[in-house]
């Protein structure tokens, strides 16, 4: 039995998309961060840091979105996370790249432009915005070149890396960011968004 505890922001969305695409049977449990549900004793007993996403599998708990995506790909024996070690490492390299670099810049922009004003956390930090914008454009330019020759990030096949990265990049819609300069990134994004798993995952979220 798989149960995913999450909230509709990028870290949970990565895992929700991967679970849905893997075809595993699972339940989605909303942990409403706005109501502080992640701070409850019952949630803290499941996960020490009190963060989402959290995966429950047969009474065991796993936190960290990257670890959850890799685990789901492994236990489902899915081609989304290839068994071949080099191919698997090529998927891993994109997970790590998005966590440490391009996804991080999108998350910074989201935090500064959406989260801070929404929750009264102060003015956007201009230096952070400038740094994130500069590196996001630099890295998107390189990614656009790579996606000119391939439909997917790794091994010429859709993988957990594409779904993971998609959850970061989709934040462009709510921040002041355009993908117009990156037609191959936009085409890759549209290709993922057209998959049934994305619609099914989104349908599990509260309206
Ligand atoms: N590195 C973690 C980040 C998890 C995380 O920061 N989750 C946020 C929501 S996107 C959270 O639970 N925030 C509530 C809190 O930190 O109190 C992952 O990738 O899973």
Residues 14-51: tens digit of each pLDDT: 999 999 999 999 999 999 999 999 999 999 999 999 99
Distance 150 CA to ligand 1 centre (A): 31
Ligand 1 proximity of 82 Cβ (cutoff 6 Å) = no
pLDDT above 90 for 207:
no
Distance 63 CA to ligand 1 centre (A): 9
Backbone torsions φ then ψ of 38, nearest 5 degrees: -70, -10
Give me Rg for the CA atoms of the chain: 17
Domains 2-80+198-203 and 85-196 share a fold: no
| Cβ(94)–Cβ(161) below 8 Å | yes
pLDDT above 90 for 176:
no
Length of the chain: 207
Q: Does domain 85-196 have CATH number 3.30.565.10?
A: no
The full set of domain ranges for the chain reads 2-80+198-203, 85-196
Terminal-residue alpha carbon distance, the chain: 25
2-80+198-203 topology per CATH = Glutaredoxin (3.40.30)
């Amino acid at each position: 039995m798989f149960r995913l505890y999450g909230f509709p922001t990028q870290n949970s969305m990565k895992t929700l998309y991967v679970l849905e695409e893997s075809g595993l049977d699972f339940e989605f449990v909303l942990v409403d961060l706005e109501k502080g549900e992640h701070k409850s004793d019952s949630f803290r007993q499941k996960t020490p840091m009190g963060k989402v996403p959290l995966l429950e599998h047969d009474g065991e708990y796993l936190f960290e979105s990257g670890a959850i995506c890799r685990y789901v790909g492994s236990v489902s024996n899915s081609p989304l996370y290839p068994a071949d070690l080099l191919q698997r490492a090529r998927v891993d390299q994109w997970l790590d790249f998005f966590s440490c670099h391009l996804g991080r810049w999108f998350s910074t922009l989201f935090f500064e432009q959406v989260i801070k004003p929404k929750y009264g956390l102060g003015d956007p930090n201009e230096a952070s915005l400038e740094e994130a914008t500069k590196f996001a454009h630099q890295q998107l330019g390189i990614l656009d070149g790579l996606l000119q020759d391939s439909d997917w990030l790794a091994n010429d096949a859709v993988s957990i890396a594409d779904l993971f990265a998609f959850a970061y990049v989709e934040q462009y819609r709510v921040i002041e960011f355009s993908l117009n300069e990156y037609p191959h990134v936009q085409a890759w994004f549209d290709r993922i968004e057209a998959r049934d798993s994305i619609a099914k995952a989104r349908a599990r979220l509260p309206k």
